Amino acid sequence: MILRLPVVLIAFLSLVTFAFGATPNGVHKCGSHLTVDEMITKETKFADDLSKIKTPTRITSGFSNHTILVYFNVIYASMELSGGYIPDQQIKDQIKVLNNDYWGTGLRFELLNVTRVENSGWFYDVGPETPEQTDMKEHLRTGGPDVLNIYTVSFNNSATEGLLGYATFPADYSDKPKDDGVVVNFATLPGGTAAPANLGRTMTHETGHWVGLYHTFQGGCDPPDDYVDDTPAEAEPAYGCPVGRNTCPSRPGVDPIHNFMDYTDDSCMNNFTPGQVDRLRHQIYTYRNISL
Protein backbone atom coordinates (compact mmCIF):
# COMPACT_ATOMS: atom_id res chain seq x y z
CA MET A 1 0.00 0.00 0.00
CA ILE A 2 1.39 3.44 -0.93
CA LEU A 3 0.09 6.60 0.73
CA ARG A 4 1.02 10.15 -0.16
CA LEU A 5 0.25 12.37 2.79
CA PRO A 6 0.90 16.08 3.31
CA VAL A 7 3.03 17.22 6.17
CA VAL A 8 0.70 18.40 8.94
CA LEU A 9 2.30 19.91 12.00
CA ILE A 10 0.32 19.34 15.15
CA ALA A 11 1.04 19.95 18.82
CA PHE A 12 3.53 17.35 19.89
CA LEU A 13 3.05 14.72 22.57
CA SER A 14 5.89 14.06 24.95
CA LEU A 15 7.68 10.83 24.06
CA VAL A 16 9.91 8.94 26.45
CA THR A 17 12.48 7.29 24.21
CA PHE A 18 15.95 5.95 23.97
CA ALA A 19 18.06 6.73 20.95
CA PHE A 20 20.83 4.57 19.60
CA GLY A 21 23.96 6.70 19.20
CA ALA A 22 26.11 6.42 16.10
CA THR A 23 29.59 7.63 17.03
CA PRO A 24 31.75 8.25 20.10
CA ASN A 25 32.16 11.90 19.16
CA GLY A 26 28.67 12.91 20.26
CA VAL A 27 27.36 13.35 16.72
CA HIS A 28 24.28 11.96 18.28
CA LYS A 29 23.27 11.00 21.68
CA CYS A 30 20.24 9.54 23.44
CA GLY A 31 16.92 11.08 22.57
CA SER A 32 15.77 10.97 26.17
CA HIS A 33 18.13 9.23 28.55
CA LEU A 34 16.50 8.51 31.90
CA THR A 35 18.12 9.81 35.06
CA VAL A 36 18.61 7.45 37.98
CA ASP A 37 15.65 9.05 39.78
CA GLU A 38 13.44 8.64 36.72
CA MET A 39 14.45 5.00 36.46
CA ILE A 40 13.73 4.37 40.13
CA THR A 41 10.27 5.90 39.71
CA LYS A 42 9.60 3.77 36.63
CA GLU A 43 10.91 0.61 38.26
CA THR A 44 8.93 1.20 41.46
CA LYS A 45 5.79 1.44 39.34
CA PHE A 46 6.76 -1.70 37.43
CA ALA A 47 7.19 -3.69 40.65
CA ASP A 48 3.80 -2.44 41.85
CA ASP A 49 2.09 -3.19 38.54
CA LEU A 50 3.59 -6.68 38.38
CA SER A 51 2.49 -7.44 41.94
CA LYS A 52 -1.13 -6.67 41.06
CA ILE A 53 -1.43 -9.30 38.35
CA LYS A 54 -1.30 -13.08 38.56
CA THR A 55 1.91 -14.16 36.88
CA PRO A 56 1.70 -17.47 34.98
CA THR A 57 3.95 -20.22 36.31
CA ARG A 58 5.84 -20.38 33.03
CA ILE A 59 6.99 -16.77 33.42
CA THR A 60 8.99 -17.84 36.46
CA SER A 61 9.81 -21.45 35.60
CA GLY A 62 10.00 -21.67 31.81
CA PHE A 63 8.45 -20.15 28.72
CA SER A 64 6.56 -20.81 25.53
CA ASN A 65 6.85 -18.94 22.23
CA HIS A 66 4.95 -15.92 20.98
CA THR A 67 4.76 -14.33 17.53
CA ILE A 68 4.77 -10.53 17.39
CA LEU A 69 3.10 -9.12 14.29
CA VAL A 70 5.03 -6.33 12.59
CA TYR A 71 3.62 -3.37 10.67
CA PHE A 72 6.51 -1.89 8.70
CA ASN A 73 6.14 1.75 7.62
CA VAL A 74 8.63 2.93 4.99
CA ILE A 75 8.79 6.72 4.86
CA TYR A 76 10.55 8.01 1.76
CA ALA A 77 11.37 11.26 -0.01
CA SER A 78 11.87 9.77 -3.48
CA MET A 79 11.39 6.39 -5.12
CA GLU A 80 15.12 5.68 -5.00
CA LEU A 81 17.08 3.79 -2.37
CA SER A 82 18.92 6.98 -1.42
CA GLY A 83 15.52 8.60 -0.84
CA GLY A 84 14.49 5.89 1.61
CA TYR A 85 12.54 3.64 -0.77
CA ILE A 86 13.63 0.36 0.79
CA PRO A 87 13.13 -2.79 -1.33
CA ASP A 88 11.00 -5.63 0.03
CA GLN A 89 13.99 -7.95 0.29
CA GLN A 90 15.79 -5.59 2.66
CA ILE A 91 12.72 -5.54 4.91
CA LYS A 92 12.55 -9.35 4.87
CA ASP A 93 16.25 -9.48 5.70
CA GLN A 94 15.65 -7.18 8.67
CA ILE A 95 12.89 -9.41 10.04
CA LYS A 96 15.25 -12.38 9.65
CA VAL A 97 17.89 -10.55 11.71
CA LEU A 98 15.33 -9.84 14.43
CA ASN A 99 14.33 -13.49 14.56
CA ASN A 100 17.94 -14.66 14.67
CA ASP A 101 18.87 -12.20 17.41
CA TYR A 102 15.78 -12.92 19.53
CA TRP A 103 16.12 -16.68 19.15
CA GLY A 104 16.04 -18.14 22.64
CA THR A 105 13.91 -15.35 24.12
CA GLY A 106 10.62 -16.99 23.12
CA LEU A 107 9.81 -14.15 20.73
CA ARG A 108 9.59 -14.33 16.98
CA PHE A 109 8.54 -11.60 14.55
CA GLU A 110 6.23 -11.93 11.58
CA LEU A 111 5.92 -9.24 8.92
CA LEU A 112 2.21 -8.60 8.49
CA ASN A 113 2.11 -5.47 6.33
CA VAL A 114 4.36 -2.93 4.59
CA THR A 115 3.09 0.60 4.07
CA ARG A 116 5.09 3.03 1.94
CA VAL A 117 4.50 6.74 2.45
CA GLU A 118 6.01 9.53 0.36
CA ASN A 119 6.48 12.43 2.77
CA SER A 120 9.75 14.35 2.73
CA GLY A 121 8.87 16.25 5.91
CA TRP A 122 8.57 13.02 7.88
CA PHE A 123 11.55 11.45 6.13
CA TYR A 124 13.95 14.27 6.97
CA ASP A 125 12.55 15.77 10.17
CA VAL A 126 11.10 12.96 12.30
CA GLY A 127 12.91 12.58 15.60
CA PRO A 128 12.19 12.16 19.32
CA GLU A 129 9.62 14.66 20.58
CA THR A 130 9.09 16.34 17.22
CA PRO A 131 5.69 17.30 15.80
CA GLU A 132 6.60 15.41 12.61
CA GLN A 133 6.97 12.10 14.45
CA THR A 134 3.71 12.65 16.32
CA ASP A 135 1.93 13.42 13.04
CA MET A 136 3.45 10.36 11.38
CA LYS A 137 2.42 8.00 14.14
CA GLU A 138 -1.06 9.50 14.45
CA HIS A 139 -1.61 8.69 10.77
CA LEU A 140 0.05 5.31 10.60
CA ARG A 141 0.20 3.41 13.88
CA THR A 142 -1.86 0.21 13.80
CA GLY A 143 -2.87 -2.41 16.39
CA GLY A 144 -2.66 -2.80 20.14
CA PRO A 145 0.21 -3.02 22.65
CA ASP A 146 1.30 -6.46 21.39
CA VAL A 147 1.88 -5.28 17.79
CA LEU A 148 5.23 -3.81 16.73
CA ASN A 149 5.06 -0.74 14.49
CA ILE A 150 8.34 0.10 12.75
CA TYR A 151 9.08 3.35 10.92
CA THR A 152 12.13 3.98 8.71
CA VAL A 153 13.27 7.57 8.12
CA SER A 154 16.58 9.39 7.50
CA PHE A 155 17.15 11.63 10.58
CA ASN A 156 18.66 14.19 8.25
CA ASN A 157 18.57 17.53 9.99
CA SER A 158 20.74 19.37 12.50
CA ALA A 159 18.73 18.16 15.50
CA THR A 160 18.98 14.47 14.60
CA GLU A 161 22.31 14.27 12.79
CA GLY A 162 23.90 10.88 13.46
CA LEU A 163 20.83 9.41 15.11
CA LEU A 164 20.29 5.75 14.30
CA GLY A 165 17.03 5.04 16.10
CA TYR A 166 14.75 5.37 19.11
CA ALA A 167 11.87 3.49 20.71
CA THR A 168 9.18 3.61 23.34
CA PHE A 169 9.02 1.43 26.45
CA PRO A 170 6.20 -1.01 27.32
CA ALA A 171 5.07 1.00 30.35
CA ASP A 172 4.43 4.05 28.16
CA TYR A 173 1.76 2.38 26.05
CA SER A 174 -1.27 2.95 28.28
CA ASP A 175 -0.75 6.72 28.43
CA LYS A 176 0.39 7.24 24.82
CA PRO A 177 -0.67 4.31 22.63
CA LYS A 178 -0.20 6.17 19.35
CA ASP A 179 3.44 6.89 20.21
CA ASP A 180 4.25 3.21 20.61
CA GLY A 181 6.85 1.73 18.28
CA VAL A 182 10.38 1.80 16.89
CA VAL A 183 11.88 4.41 14.54
CA VAL A 184 15.19 3.73 12.79
CA ASN A 185 17.40 5.19 10.12
CA PHE A 186 16.64 3.31 6.90
CA ALA A 187 20.37 3.00 6.15
CA THR A 188 20.84 0.71 9.19
CA LEU A 189 18.86 -2.14 7.66
CA PRO A 190 20.90 -5.13 6.43
CA GLY A 191 22.90 -4.05 3.38
CA GLY A 192 22.35 -0.35 4.08
CA THR A 193 24.94 2.40 3.90
CA ALA A 194 25.33 3.13 7.63
CA ALA A 195 28.41 0.91 8.14
CA PRO A 196 29.45 -0.26 10.68
CA ALA A 197 25.78 -0.13 11.73
CA ASN A 198 24.30 -1.76 8.63
CA LEU A 199 23.68 -5.36 9.65
CA GLY A 200 20.25 -4.69 11.15
CA ARG A 201 21.34 -4.55 14.81
CA THR A 202 19.91 -1.05 15.31
CA MET A 203 16.47 -2.64 14.96
CA THR A 204 17.45 -5.37 17.42
CA HIS A 205 18.65 -2.75 19.90
CA GLU A 206 15.60 -0.50 19.59
CA THR A 207 13.23 -3.45 19.79
CA GLY A 208 15.07 -4.30 23.00
CA HIS A 209 13.81 -1.02 24.44
CA TRP A 210 10.34 -1.80 23.07
CA VAL A 211 10.30 -5.00 25.13
CA GLY A 212 11.53 -3.22 28.25
CA LEU A 213 15.34 -3.32 28.29
CA TYR A 214 17.64 -0.42 29.17
CA HIS A 215 21.13 0.29 27.83
CA THR A 216 23.85 -1.81 29.43
CA PHE A 217 25.56 1.41 30.51
CA GLN A 218 22.41 2.85 32.09
CA GLY A 219 23.33 4.27 35.47
CA GLY A 220 27.06 3.89 34.87
CA CYS A 221 29.03 2.06 37.55
CA ASP A 222 26.50 2.66 40.30
CA PRO A 223 23.62 0.34 41.16
CA PRO A 224 20.88 -0.21 40.12
CA ASP A 225 22.54 -0.07 36.66
CA ASP A 226 20.15 -1.47 34.02
CA TYR A 227 18.09 -3.51 36.53
CA VAL A 228 19.58 -6.73 35.15
CA ASP A 229 21.92 -8.63 37.47
CA ASP A 230 23.96 -10.48 34.86
CA THR A 231 24.98 -7.54 32.65
CA PRO A 232 28.24 -6.18 34.10
CA ALA A 233 28.25 -2.51 35.03
CA GLU A 234 29.53 -0.16 32.33
CA ALA A 235 30.44 3.49 32.87
CA GLU A 236 29.65 4.69 29.36
CA PRO A 237 28.68 3.32 25.95
CA ALA A 238 31.23 1.31 23.99
CA TYR A 239 31.96 1.93 20.32
CA GLY A 240 33.72 -0.25 17.79
CA CYS A 241 34.47 -3.57 19.51
CA PRO A 242 36.88 -2.89 22.41
CA VAL A 243 37.41 -6.43 23.70
CA GLY A 244 38.42 -6.52 27.36
CA ARG A 245 37.38 -2.94 28.12
CA ASN A 246 36.57 -2.50 31.80
CA THR A 247 35.17 0.91 32.74
CA CYS A 248 33.90 -0.21 36.16
CA PRO A 249 36.91 -2.07 37.67
CA SER A 250 35.36 -2.10 41.14
CA ARG A 251 32.40 -4.13 39.84
CA PRO A 252 32.48 -7.75 38.62
CA GLY A 253 33.12 -8.50 34.96
CA VAL A 254 34.34 -6.57 31.93
CA ASP A 255 32.09 -4.31 29.89
CA PRO A 256 29.31 -6.19 28.03
CA ILE A 257 30.41 -4.96 24.61
CA HIS A 258 28.82 -7.89 22.79
CA ASN A 259 25.39 -7.17 24.21
CA PHE A 260 22.69 -5.90 21.86
CA MET A 261 21.92 -3.08 24.30
CA ASP A 262 25.36 -1.44 24.06
CA TYR A 263 26.50 0.90 21.25
CA THR A 264 29.17 -1.25 19.60
CA ASP A 265 29.42 -2.08 15.89
CA ASP A 266 26.76 -4.39 14.52
CA SER A 267 29.34 -7.11 13.90
CA CYS A 268 30.37 -6.96 17.57
CA MET A 269 26.87 -7.54 19.00
CA ASN A 270 25.68 -11.10 19.54
CA ASN A 271 23.68 -11.62 22.72
CA PHE A 272 21.05 -10.89 25.31
CA THR A 273 21.75 -12.29 28.78
CA PRO A 274 19.41 -14.68 30.62
CA GLY A 275 18.64 -11.82 33.01
CA GLN A 276 17.59 -9.57 30.14
CA VAL A 277 15.34 -12.33 28.78
CA ASP A 278 13.75 -12.70 32.21
CA ARG A 279 13.19 -8.94 32.43
CA LEU A 280 11.67 -8.59 28.97
CA ARG A 281 9.29 -11.49 29.66
CA HIS A 282 7.95 -9.76 32.77
CA GLN A 283 7.80 -6.37 31.04
CA ILE A 284 5.80 -7.55 28.04
CA TYR A 285 3.51 -9.67 30.21
CA THR A 286 2.75 -6.68 32.45
CA TYR A 287 2.36 -4.03 29.75
CA ARG A 288 1.86 -5.74 26.38
CA ASN A 289 -0.36 -8.69 27.32
CA ILE A 290 2.23 -11.10 25.89
CA SER A 291 2.78 -14.26 27.87
CA LEU A 292 5.88 -16.41 27.28
Domain assignment present for residue 230? The answer is no
| Rounded Cα distance, 274 and 159, in Å | 36
Residue 18 carries which DSSP code? E
The CATH number given to whatever domain includes residue 80 is: 3.40.390
Domain assignment present for residue 276? The answer is no
pLDDT at 22: 44
Per residue in 3-22, pLDDT (tens digit) is 444 333 223 223 334 444 44
Alpha helices in the chain (DSSP H): 36-51, 57-61, 88-101, 120-125, 131-140, 201-210, 274-288
Q: Which pTM value belongs to this model? A: 0.89
pLDDT at 59: 67
Domain assignment present for residue 21? The answer is yes
Per residue in 174-232, pLDDT (tens digit) is 999 999 999 999 999 999 999 999 999 999 999 999 999 999 999 899 988 899 999 99
Domain assignment present for residue 221? The answer is no
Candidate list 118, 132, 206, 234, residue with the active-site label: 206
80 is catalytic: no
Domain assignment present for residue 284? The answer is no
Rounded to 10°, the helix 36-51/274-288 angle is 70
pLDDT at 163: 86
pLDDT at 269: 96
pLDDT at 38: 74
Range of the domain at 80: 2-214
Count of structural domains, the chain = 1
Per run of 10 residues, the mean pLDDT along the chain (length 292 residues) is 38 36 44 68 87 73 86 98 97 98 96 98 93 97 98 87 90 95 96 95 95 93 92 95 97 96 95 96 95 88
Residue 248 CA, chain-centre distance (Å), reads: 25
